[in-house]
Structure 1
């Protein structure tokens, strides 16, 4: 490979059964805005930063995998207020886990069954 280097993750792609319904869910619960909408595809941004791309799926594929028969997520969102996100209306969430020096976490499921992890950590600097 050349001398270039990876600078970060530009965005993540997840499958969706109904783009409009899924996008509205993310806008409502996380304040994302919709950009670059085209046939079977749209981008969700937080301000000017790309976060997720939703792609219309032809089957029941979900952004999850299993470890020891337990479903796991592929994307972790960072937050500064895990408590308020945990109480979002009509969102399937797991219990908040306080892991001390590693922060607080909980898992949520979107309308399509994709799993996400939410993480709050006040000693971590992330550039957005």
Structure 2
């Protein structure tokens, strides 16, 4: 087999209320709603498809590392530190639960934020070189 995985096409996120969560993603993050029923919503966000799937209470996509730290499963990228600071300010103004901008010892800076179901996400100030090459500079 010489084929390779090319990209992540869809991410599935657990939510307790599909209607409220879909509205939150559209209004707070600017997602585009493509489909919605009682069990799921399909959104376009950050160049991929996000499925919000109705789940039981107290479930989210987070996990705990070996040291007991809650981790996120998705990092969104923005184009530079100015963009990171701008979106962080926007999230705070929209009352999105967000952490401080931090330096984690690698290129760029990050901050975390949460949706209304407690799904934790990361935002990084650096676009991947392949994305820049194919979609911004290329």
TM-score grouping bracket, smaller chain normalisation = 0.7 to 0.9
Identify the match of residue 55 of structure 1 among 53, 56, 59: 53
Distance 2:22 2:127 in 1: 29
Q: 1:98 aligns with which of 84, 103, 120?
A: 103
Q: Secondary structure at the match of 1:111?
A: coil
Q: Which has the higher helix share?
A: 2
| 1:90-118 deviation line (CA, Å, top 9, x unaligned) | 11111111357621111111100000001
Q: TM-score, normalised by structure 2?
A: 0.79
Count matched residues: 126
Question: Per residue, is there more strand in 1 or in 2?
Answer: 1
- Report if aligned partners of 1:19, 1:40 keep a CA contact under 8 Å in 2: yes
- Structure 2 spans left out of the alignment, 5+ residues: none
Structure 1, unaligned runs of 5 or more? none
Partner SS, residue 13 of structure 1 = strand
2:34 alignment partner in structure 1 = 35
State how far apart, in whole Å, the 2-side matches of 1:84 and 1:91 are: 14
